[in-house]
Amino acid sequence: MIALILRDLRRAYASGGATLIVAFFLLVAILFPFAVGPDQKLLARIGGGVIWAAALLAALLPVERLIGPDLDSGAIDQFAMRGLSPATIAAAKIAAHWLAFAPPLMMATIAAAGLLDLSGDNLLRVEIGLALGTPGLAALAVATAALVAGLRGAGAIAGLVMLPLAIPLLIFGAGAIEGGTGGLKLLAATSLLLVAGAPFIAGAAIRAGME
């Protein structure tokens, strides 16, 4: 399982996928102030929500590459022959996806906070929220990738599947900035539920794709 995580991590960084995710995240943070104007109070009030929306879209960006290529190449069949269950494969891919996008994204959030005029306290709450919520985003992305693997236009379909399911994370993540520990607890609970359930959902979809 560790070897599978390291394999996917190497592939993410070698293909430039992790860099693309961070660049996309920062691009959203840069463009948003141009869209709403230079009102610092407005930017500070909505900045946390902007960061969470950008993080959600960044997690969705590589969804076509998470499961589909390994199913098409037969790599998942090889993993299964070595005794790895589809749920275990999915769990390893969730861990690898989280490691590939979440730590760089959390570092990029510091630059985004400056662009959106977030205070130090709000930045700390956003970072804590991302640490709690991004595992749920990674789990949701891998489960979605498994469900749409092999379909024509998988990227567009993945967006339609994942975005509505991610609304609770988005609401609790953005709300945790003003809601204190209560919002963070709801965010952590939602993320934990997704991390616990996604490997089995993705595993079932992978098993169906192997048949």
DSSP characters for the chain? -HHHHHHHHHHHHHTTHHHHHHHHHHHHHHHHHHHH-S-HHHHHHHHHHHHHHHHHHHHHTTGGGTSHHHHHHTHHHHHHHTT--HHHHHHHHHHHHHHHHHHHHHHHHHHHHHHTT--HHHHHHHHHHHHHHHHHHHHHHHHHHHHHTT-TTHHHHHHHHHHHHTHHHHHHHHHHHHHTHHHHHHHHHHHHHHHHHHHHHHHHHHHHHH-
Q: Tell me the one-letter amino acid at 39.
A: D
pLDDT of residue 138: 92
HSE, CB side, 13 Å, CA atoms: give it for residue 187: 28
CA 176 remoteness from chain centre: 18
The CB density around residue 172, as the number of other CB atoms within 10 Å, is 25
pLDDT of residue 33: 76
Which residue in the block uniquely carries the two structure tokens 């499961």? 67
pLDDT of residue 211: 66
pLDDT of residue 135: 94
Tens of pLDDT, residue by residue, the chain (211 residues): 788 888 888 887 776 667 788 888 888 878 877 777 777 777 777 777 888 888 888 888 888 888 888 887 888 888 888 888 889 999 999 999 999 888 988 998 888 888 787 788 888 888 999 999 999 999 999 999 888 887 776 667 887 888 888 888 888 888 777 766 777 888 899 999 999 999 999 989 888 877 6
